[in-house]
Amino acid sequence: MPLHQGVTLLSNFFLLQGQPEHLLHVRHDSLLVILSIAVAIAASVLALYLVQAGMHAPGRFQRQVALLCGCGTLGLGIWSMHFIGMLALELPVDVHYHLGVTLASMLPGLFASWLALRHLLAPQSSLLRLLAAGVVVGMGIALMHYSGMSAMHMSADLRYDPWLFAASLAVAILMAVSALVLWNRMVHRSHSPIWQRLVLPSVVLGGAITGMHYISMSAARFVGNTVQPGLDDTSFSHGLALLVIGICAVMFGLMALASAALRYRGLWLQVQRSESRLQTMASTAVDAVITIDGQGLVQSFNPAAERIFGWKASDIIGRNLKLLMPSALAEQHDGYLERYHQNGERRIVGTGREVLGMHKDGRHIPLRLSIGQADTPDGPVFVGFAYDLTERKRTEAQLRIAASVFDHTCEGIAIIDANHLVVETNPAFVHLTGLSRAECVHTPFDALYQGAKPAINMPAIWQAVTANGNWQGEVVLPRADGSDWTQRLSLTAVLNEHKRLTHYVAVISDVSLHPRAQLALEHKALYDSVTGLPNELLLIEHIAHAIPSAKRNSTQLAVISIDFDHFHRINEIHGRSVGDELLEKVAYRIRGYLRGEDTLARGRSDELVVVLAGLKDEEGLHIMCNRLIGALQLPVELSSIVIQVSASCGWALYPRQGHTAATLLAAARLAQHPVRPAGSGITPAPATE
């Protein structure tokens, strides 16, 4: 293109040779200028808010809707500001606008807004991306403005001052970049106030829109050869501006509502998913999960709770939690709720403890209970997690019985690993072999039989155990004093659930013992050496024998556990001999209250257990308990002092609290409660003559 043609083309757009002779004077309606600025800022606020909402939207579809609503809001705001700004322009000539060009001028603003806001929604907005987005927004504002200006039809010619034209572009780009960088810095500061995170960047972005427009209007030069009286109808301009503002407000509102509806739908779906997950966790949990309100009324009851307590959720929800507790614990529960409402005490929240629950059929259930609390708008909610300890208690009782058998049986027992090394022995094994436990443990079992007379073939014995699962026979061994004794040896292989060998059990007995000595050993294994009472092993056997009789005769069987308070202090202050004598005297006193068919036994170290058979109803049990309590509260005269003790007492009835000896004894121990107030203590006094 020749140079003079390029200059001619530029002269159709810019003033290149100073001020023209017939320059028209223009002015702006201040009210419409203010309205245009307000529209630009409001559109910027709403657009950035929608982008911020899209950043936290749960799904890709919600983010895309937020992006479209944001770009529509910002693009429409740019166009509306320009249109109202043009209405604010007052010229002394008639001005008409080409409808198609005016509407088409909206497209650059929409496209620039979409491209820029899309950059802002990216997971990582680098400085380079923000600069690019700002340049796009600034150029979109300028393109929209100057394309809108080209829609003007009037008798005057429109030219632009090139320097102010360049300044309008620079202002649009610089302020748009500043607004987006400022917004990116503020949006990630959740502690910043809303005016810093949203309003301040929006004001800067609105300034980019309005600043570009009015600087470009300052660059505009209207040149006319003839001056005609313009349409000075300000009421029409104001009305049209208000109409545009109203339409924009409706469009802005619809876009905001659409974005908000999708956002809250996403949040609602998230809440639904969270609630579904919580319900699934509660319904599949093996522990009972029970929720109550501040009044103790059950709000939820999961399937595990139904299985443990025997109540259906529909039957228990809305009723008081005390239905699941024995009476003593129910009173404690009421007291806890009362203290919580009075002073906010949370003594049992966040802790775990063992308690007794009550099944629908009335039997007691040992539980491990943990309690949590949450504050809701409707008041506090307590969540209880209860684990059924019945099987564990039964297993512990069986293990205690097995340990008692291991320690007190008259046969010697050795546990041998798969490599034929001794890993544990009981006291009878040590006594029978004459070896210490240290000499046996970690020693090859074969080495204990090297002196057998005649020699035995241990490899052949192990082969027989492998083939048949066990072997037994008699072995003659020398004693330390040179005499011989005959040992009956039994070896058994122990397999796991996969039929693989884990260890061996060796049981030995002295078949050369005198029958009277054998009886003495058996008595020692079954009776307490201090009180002469049956020990726990024989006690379990007595209870087990009494249960079928009670079932056959339709009577009840009671197990009463008596545990002395602070018994260790008696041993510490007065010596173990005084403690043994106290147990013997109290046992003798209690025995005087019992019938011939009743049993008195010694359980744990300071525990006495009473078994009452043939009870017709609970009245007989209460009478006996009152007698025992009265007997326990009397001073005990010993050889050197007089002692007054207190004890804890608990009882369990067959079949209400259990159907086996182990469960009845465990329930009686768990149900213990103080017979006398704490502090009754020990009262030593001189012995009476």
Number of domains in the chain: 4
pLDDT above 90 as % of the chain = 5
Write down the pLDDT at residue 417.
92
Q: Who has greater pLDDT, 570 or 339?
A: 570
pLDDT at 231: 44
**CA–CA separation, 149 vs 220, rounded Å?**
10
pLDDT of 9 over the 60 cut: no
Strand positions, DSSP E, 72-217: 89-90, 95-97, 152-154, 157-160
Segment of 17-21, 152-156, 242-246, 305-309 carrying the highest mean pLDDT: 305-309
Confidence at residue 422, expressed as pLDDT on a 0 to 100 scale? 93
Q: Is the pLDDT of residue 23 over 60?
A: yes
Question: Could you report how far apart the first and last alpha carbons of the chain are, in Å?
Answer: 141
Last residue of a domain, one of 506, 524, 542: 524
269 lies in some domain: no
Assess if residue 401 is contained within a domain.
no
Whole-angstrom distance, CA of residue 149 vs CA of residue 5: 24
Convert the pLDDT of each residue in 43-66 to its tens digit: 777 777 777 777 766 667 777 777
Most confident of 75-84, 142-151, 552-561, 668-677: 552-561
Give yes or no: residues 357 and 421 share one domain. Answer: no
pLDDT at 682 over 60: no
**Cα dihedral sign, 548-553-556-558:** negative
Among 502, 524, 546, give the residue marking a domain's end. 524
Indicate if 31 and 150 belong to the same structural domain. yes
Is there a single domain that holds both residue 544 and residue 596? yes
d(C-alpha 658, C-alpha 390), whole Å: 10
Q: Is residue 166 part of a domain?
A: yes
Q: Are residues 491 and 599 in the same domain?
A: no
446-495 confidence digits (pLDDT tens): 988 888 888 888 888 999 898 888 999 888 888 767 778 888 999 999 98
| 174 and 307 share one domain | no
Res. 416 pLDDT band, cuts 50 70 90: very high
Same domain, 519 and 536: no
Write out the residue range of the structural domain in which residue 346 sits: 285-388
Report how far residue 201's alpha carbon sits from residue 41's, in angstroms, rounded to the nearest whole number.
Answer: 10
Q: What's the confidence (pLDDT) of residue 490?
A: 92
Residues 558, 539: Cα–Cα separation, whole Å: 13
What's the pLDDT tens digit per position in 363-401?
A: 888 888 888 777 777 777 888 888 888 888 888 888 788
Asked whether residue 581 is assigned to any structural domain, the reply reads yes
Lowest mean pLDDT among 329-333, 449-453, 591-595: 329-333
Q: What are the backbone dihedrals phi and psi of residue 21, each rounded to the nearest 5 degrees, phi first? A: -75, -40
Give a yes or no: residue 81 inside a domain.
yes
| Structural domain contains residue 398 | no
Q: What is the CATH number of the domain that holds 414?
A: 3.30.450.20
pLDDT score of 686 more than 50: no
pLDDT value of position 678: 41
Q: Which residues pair with 97 in a beta bridge?
A: 152
pLDDT number for residue 58: 64
Across the chain, what does the average pLDDT equal?
A: 77
pLDDT in tens, 212-239: 778 888 877 777 755 555 444 555 555 5
Nearest to 487, CA basis, from 562, 435, 533, 532: 435
Backbone φ and ψ of 456, nearest 5°: -110, 150
Q: Where is average pLDDT lowest: 78-87, 244-253, 537-546, 664-673?
A: 244-253
Whole-number pLDDT of residue 234: 54
| 290 lies in the same domain as 245 | no
- 533: tokens are 């009472």
Q: What is the pLDDT of residues 282-318, one digit of tens each?
A: 666 778 888 888 778 888 888 888 888 888 888 888 8
Together in a domain, 33 and 55: yes
Average pLDDT over residues 580-598: 85
Residues 197 and 308 in one domain: no
Are 237 and 173 within one domain? Answer: yes
Say if 7 falls within a structural domain.
Answer: no
User: Which residues lie closer than 8 Å to 106 by C-beta, 6 or more apart?
Assistant: 75, 76, 79, 144
pLDDT score for 593: 84
Helices (H), 592-617: none
Answer with the residue of higher pLDDT: 609 or 352: 609
The pLDDT value recorded for residue 677 is 40
Out of 14-23, 54-63, 364-373, 606-615, give the one with best mean pLDDT.
606-615
Q: Are residues 193 and 250 in the same domain?
A: yes
Coil vs helix vs strand at 437: helix
Percent of the chain residues topping a pLDDT of 70:
78
Q: What is the pTM of this model?
A: 0.40
Q: Exposed, middle or buried, 48 (CB in 10 Å: 0-12/13-18/19+)?
A: buried
Out of 489, 524, 559, a domain closes at 524
Confidence of residue 420 (pLDDT cuts 50, 70, 90): very high
What is the three-class DSSP state of 262? helix
In a domain, 315, yes or no: yes
Give the model confidence (pLDDT) of 99-158 as tens digits: 787 778 778 877 877 777 777 766 666 778 778 877 887 788 788 777 878 877 777 777
Cα(564)–Cα(681) distance, integer angstroms: 10
Q: Are residues 112 and 125 in the same domain?
A: yes
pLDDT the model gives residue 236: 52
Q: 3-class DSSP state for residue 49?
A: helix
